[in-house]
Amino acid sequence: MMQTIDPSTGKKIKFYPQTKISQVDDILNNAQKSFHTWRLTPFKERAFLMKEAGRILRAKEKQYAELMAQEMGKPIFQGKGEIEKCAALCDFYADYAESFLCDRPIKTEAHKSFITYDPLGIILAVMPWNFPFWQVFRCAVPTLMAGNAVVLKHASNVCGSALAIESVFKEAGFPSALFSNVFVPSEKVKYLIEHPLIQAVSLTGSTGAGKSIAINAGGVLKKVVLELGGSDPYIILEDADLQNAVTKCVESRMINGGQSCISAKRFIVVASQFKKFEEKFVSRMQLQRMGNPLYEGVDLGPLARHDLRDGLHAQVKMSLKQGARLLLGGQVPKDKGAYYPPTVLTHVRAGMSAYKEELFGPVASLIKVRDEKQAIEVANDTVFGLGSAIFSGDLERAERLAHELQAGCCFINDFVKSDMRLPFGGIKGSGYGRELGEAGIKEFVNMKTVYIK
């Protein structure tokens, strides 16, 4: 049995029976049958169904936002935004999939030569709880539009969201089992990866899960896309517009209760700006309203699970023991929910938990550096490489420094966002492969060369 728990009260919501291995086999066989017709279905028809999925999402926005608030504590207004973003993604790939995947002629000495993009078959999507709808749609929409089938293994604490997503594709009229959910614990993922009908795997999750999935997929030579954790550095230089920097930094740190892979996590500030930044940052963090995620006006709900909240608090306590100083928060509220307050640590230095580990919650690490050279060194001194940002009034300087940062993206004078038009992904311990944009739809296709003499 899988069980969902409301993190704002600790109360059980619902039990879900696990999918038996024999049922998994049936689901995969059905998905394979649907794949054979779907791969030959014209883009126009695929696009029609995908737009329908977007329409259903918009019609049920409130219901799905409430479901996420209940299962993992996301404030209701953020949940509504997440559903709208999923719907917009359906429209985007419905409009552009065909042009992204049309045959590409290549001039050679042959009569005709070109690249064509064939679907692979059934793709396994192993997904996290932090954006229960967006992460799944981000993977599934381009993968389906490319002509594949998708089997979802969602995080165990968001079973209701998994079923809701499956029902969106069903109601939209996609072929039966083309998108299917399975309720299996993480130990059973190896069985799925090794199943002969699974062609490739996409994981969004922690570095530990990434290593395990990469090892299992490597054993059977199957392709993997890994979207893993991050500890995004935000560099604030002496010529930055401080008001803008503080606003963007706090917004990025606090989105989704700080439980985002691309949240700002380490704030690397040059010495001349440090004191002012620290004061403004703390004042702004204090404005965050913590409370029941179902109430409008709440910025910060509970964290998604009690064990995750306790783990975050242990990282804060360890960092303080290692010499960091607490400017705000840092206390577990006396509440049944998995709440954790906005927290600011300063004087964070190399070797501390808050410097080298991912803090997946509303905890900011402020790091003082001498100059831009040291800022880049500190920014790159991490096992991760997902997002990064630079705040500076000198755009040429910032652009030059963007090339020095070891990350999948660098945003200048703004916070890092996933944008469906742009490729998204990381390097180093943050994984490999890309989602979104043209790059995302080309991950699970066979780039086939055709040469006609």
Please tell me which residue in 52, 71, 82, 227 is annotated as part of the active site. Answer: 227
The least CB distance from residue 445 to ligand NAP, in Å, is 20
- Identify which of residues 184 and 237 has a Cβ nearer to ligand NAP in the complex: 184
- Identify which of residues 162 and 172 has a Cβ nearer to ligand NAP in the complex: 162
- Is 261 one of the annotated active-site residues of the chain? yes
Rule CB under 6 A: which residues touch ligand NAP?
126-130, 135, 153-156, 185-186, 189, 204-206, 209, 212-213, 227-230, 261, 358, 360, 386, 426
Query: Which residue in 120, 180, 130, 191 sits closest to 152, CA to CA?
Result: 180
The least CB distance from residue 350 to ligand NAP, in Å, is 21
Q: What is the distance of C-alpha 145 from the center of its chain?
A: 20
The least CB distance from residue 126 to ligand NAP, in Å, is 5
Which residue's beta carbon is nearest to the bound ligand NAP? 205
The least CB distance from residue 379 to ligand NAP, in Å, is 17
The least CB distance from residue 436 to ligand NAP, in Å, is 10
The least CB distance from residue 242 to ligand NAP, in Å, is 28
Query: Which residue in 132, 116, 117 sits closest to 164, CA to CA?
Result: 132
- Identify which of residues 126 and 367 has a Cβ nearer to ligand NAP in the complex: 126
Are 216 and 194 spatial neighbours (Cβ–Cβ below 8 Å)?
yes
- Is 238 one of the annotated active-site residues of the chain? no
Beta strands in 287-332 (DSSP E): 325-328
Q: Which residues contact 242 (CB under 8 A, 6 or more apart)?
A: 236, 273, 276, 277, 280
Query: Which residue in 79, 74, 70 sits closest to 12, CA to CA?
Result: 70
- Quote the CA–CA distance of 445 and 199 in Å, as a whole number: 10
Classify strands 343-346 and 325-328 as parallel, antiparallel or unpaired: antiparallel
Name beta bridge partners: 368. Answer: 269
- Identify which of residues 2 and 348 has a Cβ nearer to ligand NAP in the complex: 2
- Quote the CA–CA distance of 272 and 269 in Å, as a whole number: 8
105-112 own/partner pairs: CB under 8 Å, 24+ apart: 108/451, 110/451, 110/452, 110/453, 111/452, 111/453, 112/450, 112/452
Please tell me which residue in 90, 159, 261, 410 is annotated as part of the active site. Answer: 261
- Identify which of residues 209 and 324 has a Cβ nearer to ligand NAP in the complex: 209
CA distances from 294 to 80, 297, 350 (A): 11, 9, 39
Are 176 and 186 spatial neighbours (Cβ–Cβ below 8 Å)?
no
- Identify which of residues 291 and 423 has a Cβ nearer to ligand NAP in the complex: 423
Catalytic residues: 227, 261
